[in-house]
A and B are shown apart, each in its own frame.
Chain A
């Protein structure tokens, strides 16, 4: 036996109450993990961004365009291995089979060379390069739009009027679990040559460059921006991660709301635990008096109460993690990836979320036990011995 034996045994003294508390904590941990998984899935692209890629966009805003000729200037910068470009198309499915998917007009010569997290059969790539109105789709999007190589597909745009008809020339697969499998990629020159694209003629949304030495990322970015400093359109060049986070920044209010709800959930969890621990401490006031009488110090009482609170919190956290793995990773995750792959190509609770959930549960336990522990330790021994519940 050691000092923790007493704290450990106390957990199941009121079995029903402890089980309900553990389940309460476990459910809040499940909700917590679910919400953090949404945020983590949202940011996954940025988290797994390549260190050897940098992105240049208009200095003022991501929605403003750059002259297409900038690409050649970027390619000439020392340290830049290759560069490609794209422009946002604002795609819509006229048949409403999906609410949202990403559509880009890209440089067909260099896109897959720089974006090497996608796998496209060499024959399909060659075929696409030969076909001005050819399109390459992510495998999940192809499934949603019910198309295969050789099919014709019509999409619309929020930006460009009318129907846009393409021939599917390839279906790419991801080589990285967080890579987007729901993009619709077609040739920039096709958009540029269409009269409906006049408003943005010879302009591009951003340049993506692969650099030879990732440690030179900041220096090369600065060099690119300095190069365009005196031109009409200045650039902002960032690491791919910062660039992705810039995109996500447009949804920052939503993410902040998630953060606030997450905090409220943690508060609820702490209150559930505090209620249980406060009841247990009140019931054991006399017992703590006995322990103090036989020589245990106030610090020991704090240790017993905090130890018990921490163990209940940790137990709730563990059960919550089991729920998370079974429900989020096993059931909800695959369903989300199938149905909302454009937003969440990879929807599983990552290790950091699980670790955070467990840490939150144990921390909530300690916080919940702090006040009752302090109270129990401060009570006069003779008062505690008089108290019989």
Chain B
């Protein structure tokens, strides 16, 4: 997608973004716009709902039906939007803190219901907006402003969480693997039921600076060097996989969800009356 094509989907008057130089959020956002373009969807037929945090500010910059909601609650708001307007494609933009900590309950229950939503988790392993506190995906031992001696908690694996909770399309890519990111988001939006994208993105300002690298190319190089495709990963031992980012598609199944079941219920009651 060239620049002019991207601009078609942006609210140019509201740029620049609040994101720091080198932040990966713009890459994930562009991948979503390219996926939407490839699918040929009308802007008015898409609702994008976000929570609170750096990534959730994305909704202000894109020209769809957009809702910047409460911390952790984007999925719950999006559930209301989808049930009120099943004809809309509803996409949730959320972060690792937003989706996995304060909003963890909504995340697992949306997956369980197979609610027809695409949830894109911008996963940078840190709370960026509030200044670098550790999140539920910060690796054990890594540093953050609230973990100055290293993180004492074990992280969540978003893919495993989504799988266990019942999501029906799950994929992971990093900002280095842009083309994969586009492909997965495209499949996620086209998918009926809960689709989850664990979008690994860099925060050089906080997470990178305390841990991996304080510059964006360095972080992306890290993603490149440490990513392993899910198929290859199956052939490796736990030791060999330590510290690696497993990318690829993890789940892709067709199952009915709340939206289609509710439509069936209405029909059934009509017949009965």
Q: Do A and B bind each other?
A: no
